[in-house]
Amino acid sequence: MPAQWRMVRSAPATGARNMAVDATLLEAARRRAFGVWRTYAWATPTVSFGRHEAVRGRFDADTLARAGLDAVRRPTGGRALLHAAEVTYSVALPVADNIPWRSVYQAVNAVVLEALHSLDVNASLVPEEGAPLLRPEGPVCFDQPAPGEIVVLHAGVRAKLVGSAVWRDRGAYLQHGSILLQDEQGRLSEATIGHVTTPPPAASLATCLAVTPSWDAVATALEQALAASVARAPALAEECIAVPEDDLLDPDAIAQHDARFCDPRWLWRR
């Protein structure tokens, strides 16, 4: 993890805009000495598909429209999830080629876990050993946890609370995460072809706590946990600064990436 960070809170935006911003931050990360922690929301309920997820035959434009959902394909991996009533974050940072991506993944998830503990959520990490690896064409994102993900005890079973997806590209790393405030993942079944069986209820902050924290409270907890992690790092010139989104973005790069994420050929590529 870098010793220097920029923290951004973005206004709610479309799926294409959100993914274009994250792709731009990933592209810029390899030229920067700092990481960017971005927290954001979605203008409308939006299904995001993983970069390599096979979705043709499971979803189509008509079923999504009838369910009242937009859709976008992420630049990161993972499986389908519905972005609604949640706090989404992205983490873009430079990573040397000799650093294993799982080391970065573990470090990011440790920050998120610390933030959840500060909110009195009794969450833990799935052990790296003994948990099954999940393929991109499997069930939806919140159906079951993968190694290293954050879980809570829910309805008597260990249930995923935070959905995560990553992508590494030529010296840069991007991680997406979704913390559910309320569970609306069941709406995904309304958007699938043939209305497949509704997945079991997902864990959410509403099921973990007597009072559901606000979006701002969760965003603040994430930023404070990141700042605490940076302060503990044995490095020189540690800093964690909140900045406006526009300070970090190239408008031309945003436009190029936005065109890609709006393109049906990208959305329905698999």
Q: Which residues form the catalytic set?
A: 141
Which H or E run includes 158?
strand 157-169
The single-letter DSSP state of residue 227 is: H
In angstroms, the CA 218 to CA 120 distance is 11
β-sheet with 86-94: strand ranges across: 124-125, 150-154, 157-169, 172-180, 86-94, 35-40, 4-9, 239-242
Within 8 A by CB and 6+ apart from 231, the residues are: 238, 240
Which residues have a Cβ under 8 Å from the Cβ of 75 and sit 6 or more positions away? Answer: 19, 22, 23, 26, 51, 167, 174
**Number of neighbours of residue 45 by Cβ within 10 angstroms:** 17
| DSSP three-state, residue 240 | strand
Q: What angle do CA 165, 171, 177 make, to 5 degrees?
A: 20
3-state secondary structure of 80: coil
Tokens encoding 160: 């995923």
